[in-house]
Chains A and B, each alone.
Chain A
Amino acid sequence: MKSGSGATLLALVAAAGWLRPDDASAQSWNKAAFDTKSMADTMKALGGGEPVQSKDIVFFQTPDIAENGAVVPVGITSNIPKTESIAVLIEKNPNMLAAVFDIPPGTEPSLSTRVKMGQSSNIYALVKADGKYYFAAKDVKVTLGGCGG
């Protein structure tokens, strides 16, 4: 977690571009954010402030070890007031960004879904609350399969 976290933070900030409020209402899809394939690419798209690590973002139902990387359950709860959106990023996937959820008022800032992981990696939960960005990280190991397919 510590090593390379500077670069990671920059990457997270870069990804923040998709979280502009006007994206939520329309059926838009932020290609630039989903297309970034590396830290370097992501950094080029810089914009927005640096996110702050927060203990108020909690992972639930997210295993330490995934028996199969094709389906990794991820549950994220944000206890930060005025949470507007929650994003799921996988550090070592070819494209880091997996999903973004906009949370309107009245919807609990807590959800669970399932993502693919190519290898053991950090999962980041990135939260936008009251215009500011926060994140939490969880290391998930992906094990080998069985009898060689």
Chain B
Amino acid sequence: MADPMKIRATLVGDSTEVKVLMSHEMETGQRKDAQGAVIPAWFIQNVTVTHGGTTVLAAQWGPAVSKNPFLSFKFKGGAKGDKVTIAWVDNRGDKRTDEATIA
């Protein structure tokens, strides 16, 4: 199973700044191993960030997003103590959901 994400959610003025690091290979499917065999593609395809049941960001990713992805954005309406939930699904169907408290 994948390692947990590292999520920071911070109230800045009237916006919540979300910064997240995800543990994922983001393999392109274009590299070869030492024996010359193609290493199959393996990457996160969908990322959904929710706050209070509402989606505040939805992303579709291809394998050109860097290994161990980083994402940062801001949304309005969060309050200290609220939870921000982030979920990803990769092309193998592996999933991971983590949450952080807005500080």
Contacts and interface: CB of A to CB of B under 8 A. Distances in A.
**A–B contact via C-beta, under 8 angstroms:** yes
Interface of A: 18, 23-25, 27-30, 34, 70-72, 75, 90, 93-95, 97-104, 106-108, 110-117
Interface string B17-44: 0000000001010100000000000000
B10 interface: no
A114 B66 CA distance: 6
- Interface SS of chain B: strand
B66 A70 contact: yes
B62 A34 contact: yes
Contacts of B15: 108
Interface of B: 15, 26, 28, 30, 45-46, 48, 54-67, 69-77, 89, 91
Instruction: Determine which residue in B56, B60, B67, B74 has the highest number of CB atoms from chain A within 10 A of its CB, and name it.
Output: B60
B66 A71 contact: yes
Given A99-B59, A108-B75, A29 B64 contact: no
B76 A100 contact: no
Nearest to A113: B71
B64 A111 contact: no
A98 B44 CA distance: 11
Contacts of B46: 27-29
B54 A113 contact: no
Contact of B73 (A24, A25, A28, A111): A111
A110 B57 CA distance: 11
A102 B73 CA distance: 12
A98 B67 CA distance: 13
Given A27-B46, A90-B64, A97-B62, A108 B28 contact: no
A29 to B, nearest CB: 4
